[in-house]
Amino acid sequence: MIPAAIVTYHPDRAWPERLDAVLREHPRVLVVDNSTSSSARDFVTTVVSSRPRVVLHSLPSNPGIGAALNLAFSALANEGHARAVAYDQDSTPEPGFTAAITDTASAHPRAAVIGANWTDPRRPGSPALFLRPAQPFGLGFRRIRAEHDLTGLLCVITSGACFDLEVWRSLNGFDAGLFLDLVDTDFCLRARDAGYDIAACAEARLLHHRGDKRTVRLLGHDFHPAHTPAFRLRCLSRNRMVLFRRRRLRPLAWSTYELAYGSKLLLDALLLEDRPVVRLAAVLRGTCEGLLNRTGPLRPE
């Protein structure tokens, strides 16, 4: 059986139920808590202490998701595990998740990462779309549903993804300097560079909250902006530019997608979300920081 790693940061009161769902799918769960308040740390400690198959690493500060996952994966690799599944604190695997992803791992041994087939419970009719280069030249991108197992993807999200720990170690783990956003994208692209595949498992179903999506009606149409906090917009913009510089816009299918997605987030912030000036300032600040190649922890203001 494959163990699991969860990174927590001030989890809500429903988190124990989601943790129990993870425990039903995995024999062992390692929680790395990045919470910065004593009340949040005490809550996580209390929840974990009543579940004997869960091990807690509580960090004194928040070093980011990359650093936390590196700690968890290092511990699991040292115990002899070949693979591990990472979860966000707001994700819930459905029954049969681990069996399905194990089957996909056996069928695709060159897959460094196998993503979950996730759905945002607030939009049940809109399953995940996975990113793949468009043929014949791979200059554009396609976003496709996982109606069956997929291979040849550009990247998948961290939550619910199964990682090959030998590959993780050979690539020197996650880039902790990215702190939060695009940590998964960076790892997937480096794995592709090293000749490994990125896959998705159609039957590994996951409920995952992606942003704070709320319906906004404009000009007679319903839109579903993510209401991304200004801090996250800054982090996304910074890290996107850092990776553009580092990778020289390659692969082009990925950079084209990132430009399109970044533009959508900006338009949502300006037209559909509150405090547009604050959000625009965050995007501009993050972009400038990325152009200067700055990395490291960021703190909400």
Q: Give the separation between CA 268 and CA 271, rounded to whole angstroms.
A: 5
Q: Detail the DSSP E strand segments found in the chain.
A: 4-8, 29-33, 54-58, 83-88, 91-93, 111-119, 130-133, 141-144, 161-164, 197-208, 216-218, 221-223
Q: Going by C-beta distance under 8 Å and a sequence separation of 6 or more, which residues neighbour residue 156?
A: 113, 114, 115, 116, 130, 184, 188, 198, 200
Q: Give the separation between CA 180 and CA 178, rounded to whole angstroms.
A: 6
Cα-based distances in Å from 210 to 11, 163, 174 = 15, 21, 21
Fold of 4-208: Spore Coat Polysaccharide Biosynthesis Protein SpsA; Chain A (3.90.550)
Query: Taking a C-beta distance cutoff of 8 angstroms, is the pair 67, 176 a contact?
Result: yes
> Which residue numbers in the chain have pLDDT < 70?
220, 301
Could you give the percent of the chain with pLDDT greater than 90? 88
In the prediction, which pLDDT does 133 show?
96
Q: Which amino acid is at 111?
A: A
Domain boundaries, the chain: 4-208, 216-291
Radius of gyration of the chain (CA): 19
Q: Give the separation between CA 173 and CA 190, rounded to whole angstroms.
A: 10
In the prediction, which pLDDT does 63 show?
96
In the prediction, which pLDDT does 216 show?
74
The structure's pTM equals 0.96
In the prediction, which pLDDT does 301 show?
67
